[in-house]
Homo-oligomer: A and B are copies of this chain.
Amino acid sequence: MSLVTDTIRNGVDTQQLYATLDLIKQQPELAEFQFRATNRWIDGAHNRSTIRGFHAAGGEDESRTEEFQLDAGEPAILLGTDTGANPAEHLLHALAACLTTSIVYVAAARKVELTSVESTLTGDMDVRGALGVDKEPRNGFERITVSFHVTGNAPAEKLHEVVERAKARSAVYDMVTNGVPVAVEVTAN
């Protein structure tokens, strides 16, 4: 095997991965990150987030050459015109993406070569809560179900262990299951 084959696994540079982990162990202050988004209302249920800058490893990131734009909307039944996935669907995407990347990174660290990682997520919501019709149902999903199908060059038992470890390390899984303190500040007119 070439050096490249040894280093890159699942598209992850494991040499860089181990170097990053070692560096953060030695200098924990480098682990303080801040991610950001700015959002602007366009019309009705249509709004757009712009994402680029973040703080990492003791300074402001300069590596991103372009900003990401993400549009949100609602379907007709929720009074929108489908200008984007709706906010709750974006949350499902955030959860799927984080668990999947965690699976891929954990597998890379454990020398498991993955062939595929696919997932289907469902979130059940009684919209009487968010629409303010009834105080009983909560506003958000009552429950979320994530169904993964993972294949790779390891026994099924080891792939299950990789998913378990990914759950235990995923940032968005932690936030969605445990919640996060959110402070909302407002200036008006």
Contact indicator B49/A74 (Cβ below 8 Å): no
A49–B68 Cα distance when bound, in Å, is 16
Q: Is the contact region of chain A dominated by helix, strand, or loop, or is it mixed?
A: mixed
Contact indicator A141/B11 (Cβ below 8 Å): no
Contact indicator B93/A51 (Cβ below 8 Å): yes
For A51, give its contact among B43, B85, B131, B163 (CB under 8 Å).
B85
Contact indicator B101/A94 (Cβ below 8 Å): no
Contact indicator A79/B105 (Cβ below 8 Å): yes
Q: Which residues of chain B are within 8 angstroms of A77 by Cβ–Cβ distance?
A: 20, 56-57, 61, 63
Within 8 A of B (CB), among A63-98: 63-66, 68, 70, 72, 74-80, 82, 84-98
Given the known interface contacts A20-B131, A54-B75, A79-B12, the answer about A125 and B35 at a Cβ–Cβ threshold of 8 Å is yes
Contact indicator A171/B139 (Cβ below 8 Å): yes
Given A87-B101, A99-B184, list of 10 further CB < 8 A pairs?
A28-B134, A35-B122, A68-B84, A95-B182, A130-B170, A140-B171, A148-B185, A148-B186, A150-B189, A176-B180
Q: How large is the interface on A (under 10, 10 to 19, 20 to 34, 35 or more residues)?
A: 35 or more
User: How many copies of the shown chain assemble into the complex?
Assistant: 2
A38 contacts chain B at the CB level, 8 A cutoff: yes
Q: Mind listing 12 A-B residue pairs with CB under 8 Å?
A: A11-B43, A13-B79, A21-B131, A31-B128, A35-B123, A87-B98, A88-B94, A132-B169, A140-B172, A144-B182, A163-B186, A178-B179
A21–B129 Cα distance when bound, in Å, is 11
Given the known interface contacts A93-B51, A139-B174, A146-B184, the answer about A28 and B128 at a Cβ–Cβ threshold of 8 Å is yes
